[in-house]
Amino acid sequence: MFANKLELLLALIALVMIVIGGYLFYLYQEGSSAHYHPPVSKTASPKAQLVGHLTTLSQAIEAYHAKNLRYPERLEQLQPEFLDKIPLEPKAGNNFKYESDGLNQYRVGIADPAAFGFRELFIENGKIIQH
Partner 1 sequence: MEKLFNIKIYRLLLSFPFLLTFLTHSVTSIATQSDHSARSLEEEVSRILVKTIKCKKVEVQIKFAKEKAGALKSLAIKFDDIILGPMMADHMTLIYEDPVIDLIRLKKEKEFKILSYSKNKVGILISAKSIEAYLEHKAKQFEKKYNRISIKFSPPYLECLFDVPASEVSPETLQLVKPFVKNAKLEGYAAFRMEAKDNALYASSSKVIVNHFLVPERILRELQNRFNPFDAIPTLHPFQYSMNHVTVQNQYIFLSN
Give the interface with partner 1 as residue ranges (CB under 8 A). 26-28, 30-33, 35-39, 56, 59-60, 62-63, 65-67, 69, 79-84, 104
Closest separation in Å from C-beta 71 to partner 1: 12
Nearer to partner 1, 46 or 62 (CB): 62
- Sheet containing 121-124: give its strands across: 97-100, 106-109, 121-124, 127-130
Nearest CA among 107, 103, 109, 108 for reference residue 71? 103
Nearer to partner 1, 57 or 110 (CB): 57
Nearer to partner 1, 71 or 118 (CB): 71
Q: How far is the CB of 112 from partner 1 (least distance, A)?
A: 27
> Minimum distance from CB of 27 to partner 1 (Å)?
5
Q: CA nearest 128: which of 49, 64, 55? A: 55
| Contact status, residue 111 vs residue 94, Cβ threshold 8 Å | yes
Question: Is 123 in contact with 115 (CB distance < 8 Å)?
Answer: no
- Shortest Cβ distance from residue 97 to partner 1 (Å)? 22
